[in-house]
Chain A
Amino acid sequence: MKKVIKHKSEFSQQEITFTITEKLSKLEGKILAPKKLAEANRLLRKLKTPLPK
């Protein structure tokens, strides 16, 4: 049986249904947007101010 999570959005006021699938679970840990992640890391390395607490 598939696991389903219902989420009532405070923004859209709509109920969102998240269905946990084996297909996506198999991708866990895989970097799906390597260039984007590299760019984020580049920005974070250049950061001159600390992250907000």
Chain B
Amino acid sequence: MKYEVYSDIEASGDFNIFDFVSIGKNGMIRKRVAFARTEVEDVYNLAFGDVNEEEEINDYVVSDNGDRNKILATIVNIVEAYCKRYPDRWIIFEGSTSERTRLYRMAVGLNFEELSAKFELYGYADDRITPFVKNLKVNAFLIKRKKS
């Protein structure tokens, strides 16, 4: 996965919130990745999107800044660093729309070999968790760093 990434990232002290700036044809756009505890122990939700005036994440906006792959690769790097800090945590994530979930599915599928070497990858479909395989149609993903 040799994509270009944004390498300067701001983080919170607890390493649950990350900001970086997307630079592209529509200018500079602040992006945020945040992990939040769910009702299930050791499962954390990943949210990603633009930062609004209330400092919340808007994950519906389409910024069309021409740097989609760079952003996706940056998110992977953040997840990698997060899992290094918190190796026992599961991360659940899904797109805010069916199109975005499809995009994530494609991104995971295209980089499946590299990702599956480092992460346990599962898909959520029909209220069940199953090991993710390419082209599996899922509503959400569940991942965790593999124990080395």
A interface with B by C-beta (< 8 Å):
3, 5, 7, 9-21, 23-25, 27-28, 30-34, 36-37, 39-41, 43-52
Pairwise interchain contact B16-A28, C-beta atoms closer than 8 A: yes
Q: Which residue of A lies closest to B51 (CB)?
A: A32
On chain B, the number of residues with a Cβ less than 8 Å from chain A's Cβ atoms is 56
Pairwise interchain contact A36-B59, C-beta atoms closer than 8 A: yes
Task: Tell me how many residue pairs across A and B have CB atoms closer than 8 Å.
Answer: 151
Pairwise interchain contact A51-B7, C-beta atoms closer than 8 A: no
The answer, among A7, A19, A28, for a CB contact under 8 Å with B17, is A28
Verify if B84 is at the interface (C-beta below 8 Å from A). Answer: yes
Q: Which 6 pairs show the lowest CB-CB distances between chains A and B?
A: A33-B47, A24-B12, A40-B45, A25-B13, A33-B57, A36-B47
